[in-house]
Structure 1
Amino acid sequence: MTDKRKLHLSLFLVFLKMSPLTFGGGYALIPAIEREVVEKKSWLRREEVADLFAVSGTVPGAVAANSAAFIGYRIAGVSGAIAALLGICLPTFVLMIVLSVFYVQFKDNPKIEAAFTAIRATVAALIAFAAIKVARSSIVDFASGALATGAALLLFTGIHPLWVIALGAAAGMLWVHFRALRGKETKIKDKEPVYDYMI
């Protein structure tokens, strides 16, 4: 098997393994993606994953599927995006068909309702943990901290998240331009990921 096929298979299996964790949406998947893609495989840096999740939330579609496609594309091009997308979607598709059949029959069962209540609470914890992880790699100075605080406050006003993201991007570009006018360079880390074809 060629190195490229090994990479595709590795992408497929990594996202296949993470797919059952997508309860509650793609944001609950961030810790698992960071652990697999950044810590175990060293495919991407933590900052890149945070950026890819930010972009994934701005386009239509499920965040988990968008993120898998973006990460797969970043690592192995179009074929990598397809492999990652198949990995993340296949188990969820099968599971949703099975759950749909059984949920109709057992939805009024108190034990089933209790299980879903517990799942929702657990997902809230996963999302909070993911937010903390992303904040650690994204809030690096006073400006980024102020921007994150401002964005959070804007969300509480009821403004659409897409506008918050657009305003954040504009603010970031203006900040870099302002620093350039003052003769200060904004450094962005750049490191090529080291691919590990082992599962």
Structure 2
Amino acid sequence: MNLLKLFISFLKIGAFSFGGGYAMLPLIKKEIIEVHGWMTTKEFIDILAVVEMTPGPIAINSATFLGHEVAGILGSIVATIAVVLPSIVIILFIAHFLSKFKSSPYVDWAFKGIRPVVLGLIISASITVSKDAFIDFKGFILGTVLFYLISFKKLHPILAIIIAGVTGTIIY
């Protein structure tokens, strides 16, 4: 039964998340933590740290790791297939009809309407994760400094991850 719940949860996440992995985080958190209680917020944040460091799309990595935590290897497979299935179906559908409608103003308007929602989902995910990631003032300072360095000084994200890991090991 857990596999069916896992499949349905990640199918919903894949079907209703526009804008990639970061936009999916609020839906993933709601399904995994709030709806099913498969893990705590702290466990979710720890898995997100691993997902961020591994190569590949965040949504697929999240589904794979979270599926494994819930139901082992089979859970990884089920969650990963479920999260990509809606995209595959949608892409095949769009590819079939896009040549007919690519110049339609309605298609352009629809995508212009979706963009702000994607931004809102990403901001929501950031705020949600920030609440639980900043466990004390030291973490808040570290996160703020790294955000500044990445955003304004163009520090490479891999270097930021290494700095955060080393700094966390030292101060905690």
Q: Per-residue deviation at 1:37?
A: 0.7
Q: Which has more radius of gyration?
A: 1
Unaligned runs of 5+ in 1: 1-5, 177-199
Distance 2:38 2:108 in 1: 39
Q: Per-residue deviation at 1:103?
A: 2.6
Q: Which amino acid counterpart does residue 170 of structure 1 have in structure 2?
A: V
Structural mapping, 1:157-172, within 5 Å: 157-172=153-168
Task: Give the structure 1 partner of residue 83 of structure 2.
Answer: 88
Are 1:146 and 2:146 an aligned pair? no
Distance 1:165 1:20 in 2: 30
Specify the SS of the correspondent of 2:131. Answer: helix
TM (norm. structure 2) is: 0.94
Distance 1:65 1:154 in 2: 28
Distance 1:106 1:159 in 2: 41
Deviation above 4 Å: which 4+ runs of structure 1? none
Are 1:7 and 2:2 an aligned pair? yes
Structural mapping, 1:1-199, within 5 Å: 6-156=1-151, 157-176=153-172
What does the per-residue CA deviation read over 1:48-79, in whole Å, with 9 as the maximum and x for residues that have no partner?
Answer: 11222222122111100100000011122111
Q: Which structure is richer in relative contact order (CA contacts within 8 A, separation 6 or more)?
A: 1
What does the per-residue CA deviation read over 1:22-63, in whole Å, with 9 as the maximum and x for residues that have no partner?
Answer: 311111111111111101111011121122222212211110
Q: Which amino acid counterpart does residue 42 of structure 2 have in structure 1?
A: E
Distance 2:119 2:95 in 1: 23
Q: State percent identity of aligned pairs.
A: 35
TM (norm. structure 1) is: 0.82
Which of 129-138 and 99-108 deviates more? 99-108
Distance 1:144 1:102 in 2: 49
- Superposed CA RMSD in Å reads 1.2
